[in-house]
């Protein structure tokens, strides 16, 4: 199953909120830190607030934070809030209808239920722990540029060496 970018963004936003604890995070900070446009962050925050996953406070000192502890926010809750979690294929039923108990629709519904069951076993807290930057996963700083002479090029005089 392929999830939308919105679901991936929603999970990243929730992980960021989990790491912040009870502190409010501004949408502009989320946008910059997660490299998601502010418009998309606002849209996703609205979905997550409607689903009861985050609290949004308006105003100059406002922001967002988790509505409940991270260990109680299941990944399946996020998927249900951001994705269509019902499959319907036209003409997929045994009699040509959309009945849940027949044909192709039943197979896809069963597969979707199994997928959601797996996501039910994992929480935002689990993901926040697994994505903590470790010493080995941090980006190595780029080495400083070496002078051209050290690379084998022609040495150049600096302004202070005279003409």
Q: Where are the chain's structural domains?
A: 5-130
Q: What is the pLDDT of residues 108-127, one digit of tens each?
A: 888 888 999 999 999 999 99
- Is 0.85 topped by the overall pTM? no
**Would you tell me which CATH number, out of the four given (1.10.10.10, 3.30.365.10, 3.10.400.10, 3.40.50.300), belongs to the domain 5-130?**
1.10.10.10
DSSP string, 80-140: HHHS------TT-STTSS--TTSHHHHHHHHHHHHHHHHHHT-BHHHHHHHTSPPTTTSPP
- Tell me: the pLDDT tens digits for 1-59? 788 999 999 999 999 999 999 999 999 999 999 999 999 999 999 999 999 999 999 98
């Amino acid at each position: 199953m392929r999830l939308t970018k919105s679901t991936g963004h929603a999970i990243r936003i929730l992980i960021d909120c989990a790491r912040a604890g009870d502190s409010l995070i501004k949408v502009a900070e989320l946008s910059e830190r997660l490299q998601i446009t502010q418009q998309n962050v606002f849209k996703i925050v609205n979905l997550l607030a409607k689903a009861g996953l985050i609290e949004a406070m308006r105003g100059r000192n406002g922001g967002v934070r988790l509505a409940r502890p991270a260990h109680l926010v299941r990944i399946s809750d996020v998927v249900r809030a951001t994705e269509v979690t019902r499959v319907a294929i036209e003409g997929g039923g045994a009699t040509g209808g959309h009945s849940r108990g027949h044909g192709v629709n039943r197979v896809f519904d069963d597969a979707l239920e199994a997928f959601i069951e797996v996501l039910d076993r994992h929480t935002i807290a689990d993901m926040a722990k697994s994505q903590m930057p470790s010493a080995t996963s941090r980006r190595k700083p780029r080495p400083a540029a070496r002078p051209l002479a050290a690379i084998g090029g022609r040495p150049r005089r600096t302004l202070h060496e005279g003409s």
